[in-house]
A and B are shown apart, each in its own frame.
Chain A
Amino acid sequence: MNEEPNPPPNRDEARATLAAIDATHAETRRNIGSSEFGPNMIWCGLLWMVIFTYVQFLPGPVYLLWVLAVAFFVAFAAMKKLRPSPVKSAPDWRVGALLLVILGYAGIFWALLQPQGFQKNLPSPDVVMEARKFAAYAVIVSMFLNVIVGLTVRPSRFFVGLGLLMTALVLVGYYCVPAWFCLWMAAVGGSTFVISGIFIRKFWK
């Protein structure tokens, strides 16, 4: 391919070229589906609000709700995987290592919080306490996943910040507003996800 060498761009041309790079970047992400991340986060926040509000007022077999929520997201992710992806990623040994770290973290917090959600016929105050423990456990572990991903797989201050902020909110709610913990998580945690989703949708390129 014989081409005339391009002369160095002037200031306006350089600015236009940078804008073209940004536009191509955004268009590529839109085409490969990365732009779905923002809306998914908004849906996640709304689901989060519904589950926590439900648990606040009707504390029952709360673990079942979390299992259903996780199953829903796993099924959703699997359905998306069935379509031939335009992107192929190299196998990454770090994913296996990260899973082990997350399992270890989950194990430590299980021992610390001891959410015995499978026990039946608990007296009413214990049921409320169990719901609170289980909710705190689910959030703390899933937010640790965010921090790890933000530090390694996809380096991003956003993921790390979100993970740390949500963990702090869990601890504040767990110790400072125990009676309204789930409602606290529904409002504060859910809206954090929704606002993050809107932020990603508007500003991520």
Chain B
Amino acid sequence: MPELDKIIHSPARLKIMAALMALGPSDQLDFSTLGTTLGLTDGNLGAHLQTLEEAGYIKIEKTFVARKPRTFVRTTTRGRARFEEHVEALREICKV
């Protein structure tokens, strides 16, 4: 029986994971694009990302592109599995 994940269940983090799941497993999404897509401020997004990273659901990578600092985010295998289980649990609730 799939279970809801308490960390992913928060609306903002659920959307962050949903956005990152739209990419391939090895693809990384730019921090500012993620913030714009979800309508979150940099501070708010940063805090939620930190929670997800501490849980091992995402990886954050800071790098330089054309001498400008850029931050990229991607899901981990564990994060993708937990998100899929969370979605499955939601589907089970819908069936009841």
Contacts and interface: CB of A to CB of B under 8 A. Distances in A.
Interface of A: 1, 3, 5-6, 8-11, 14-15, 17-18, 20-21, 24-25, 27-29, 31-32, 34, 84, 86-90, 92, 154
Categorize the interface residue count of chain B: 35 or more
B15 interface: yes
Contact of B94 (A18, A25, A27, A90): A18
Ordered nearest first, which 10 A-B pairs have the shortest CB separation?
A86-B33, A14-B93, A24-B18, A86-B30, A28-B22, A90-B26, A28-B19, A21-B18, A88-B28, A14-B90
A160 B19 CA distance: 26
Interface in B6-60: 6, 9-11, 14-15, 18-19, 21-24, 26-30, 32-33, 36-38, 47-48, 51
Given A1-B48, A6-B9, A31-B36, A21 B87 contact: yes
A49 B11 CA distance: 47
B24 A154 contact: yes
A32 B93 contact: no
Interface in B81-96: 87, 90-91, 93-94, 96
Contacts of B65: 84
B16 to A, nearest CB: 9
A97 to B, nearest CB: 16
12 contacts: A11-B93, A14-B90, A14-B94, A18-B90, A20-B18, A28-B29, A34-B22, A84-B66, A86-B30, A87-B27, A87-B30, A88-B72
B93 A10 contact: yes
A24 B27 contact: no
A86 B29 contact: yes
B24 to A, nearest CB: 7
B80 to A, nearest CB: 13
A29 B72 CA distance: 16
Contacts of A154: 24
A89 B38 CA distance: 21
Given A24-B15, A84-B66, A17 B90 contact: yes
A151 B16 CA distance: 28
Given A20-B14, A32-B33, A25 B19 contact: yes
Contacts of B22: 24-25, 28-29, 32, 34
B93 A87 contact: no
Contacts of B29: 28, 32, 86-87
